[in-house]
Structure 1
Amino acid sequence: MNLFASPVFAQARIELKRPESQVKIQDVGQLISALVGTLLIISALLAFFFLILGGIQWITSGGDKAGMEAARNKITHAIVGLIIVGAAWAIMILVQNFLGVQIIGGTLEFPKPFE
């Protein structure tokens, strides 16, 4: 009589286990180290972007005194920003070398799905 009967999978008891956390941050210092390095890179890129934007604004000002002054201020502020970022990076490298702690360059291992 069971020639056409097939098992009903909807009635099977399936247990799904919650995967263990795969975030591997050993300490808060490692997280801060990665964040500091990332923020330095982002701030340097932003300063460089504003430097280029100021140059484009200078070129397109067409001899207008107010436009040239605004572009000059933007370029000056971008250069000051790059100097500040470079000085912050140099100070952190000096502290890193003298104290033997790792401030810049921490690595984080992010979880991979379904591993």
Structure 2
Amino acid sequence: MDPQINTLLASVPEHVTIAPEGPTSTTGEKPLGWFKGIGPLGEETEKWKDISLPALKFTQVISLAIGVMTIIAFIWFVFTLFTGALAWITSGGDKVKVQNAQKQISNGIIGVVVVISAIFLFRLAGAILGINLNIYSLLLSLWP
């Protein structure tokens, strides 16, 4: 037998028996548990039986991605708005440059309005149609 296993078995207290289902105490103490894995990642394997945890992680990733994309879109359209204003200021009276700057400003304003209103429109559509737009509860309802 491997010397490391012998050392490990020798370190187990005498009042503990290792049964196939896991260690138990013969002195009536609280059960000691069983090896699930190594370190903090091994402790999480017990939770893998529950579908709600992967569904929760998936919905957190989707929610984070949508939030980040919304913030990036908002920043982009505000940047477009300011660069259009700067182009208008530096146009020097040239009609073509002023028209291009006006188009850029209007595109920036429309973009900001669309990004902000999209959040409210999706919630309103879900409320009117009676659809729960929570991805987490949707995934749980689909699981058998």
Q: TM-score, normalised by structure 1?
A: 0.61
Residue 81 of structure 1 pairs with residue 111 of structure 2: yes
Q: Do the aligned residues in 1 keep the contact of 2:88 with 2:98 (CA within 8 Å)? A: yes
Q: State the one-letter code of the partner of 1:75.
A: I
Q: Do the aligned residues in 1 keep the contact of 2:123 with 2:133 (CA within 8 Å)? A: no
Question: Which has the larger helix fraction?
Answer: 2
Structure 2 match to 1:54: 84
Rounded Cα–Cα distance in structure 2 between residues aligned with 1:85 and 1:29: 21
Residues 1-115 of structure 1: matches in 2 within 5 Å?
20=41, 26-94=56-124, 99-102=131-134
- Considering only aligned residues, what root-mean-square deviation do their CA atoms show, in Å? 2.6
Rounded Cα–Cα distance in structure 2 between residues aligned with 1:35 and 1:27: 12
Q: State the one-letter code of the partner of 1:66.
A: V
Q: Secondary structure at the match of 1:27?
A: helix
**What is the Cα deviation at residue 95 of structure 1?**
5.4
Q: Secondary structure at the match of 2:77?
A: helix
Rounded Cα–Cα distance in structure 2 between residues aligned with 1:35 and 1:29: 10
Aligned length, in residue pairs: 86
**What is the Cα deviation at residue 93 of structure 1?**
3.6
Unaligned stretches of 5+ in structure 2?
A: 1-37, 45-52, 136-144
Unaligned stretches of 5+ in structure 1?
A: 1-16, 104-115
Q: TM-score, normalised by structure 2?
A: 0.50
Q: 1:39-91 deviations in whole A, cap 9, x for unaligned?
A: 11110110000000000000000100010011000001111111110121112
Q: State the one-letter code of the partner of 2:57.
A: D
Find the structure with the greater CA-based Rg: 2
Identity %: 30
Q: Do the aligned residues in 2 keep the contact of 1:33 with 1:102 (CA within 8 Å)? A: no
Structure 2 match to 1:106: none
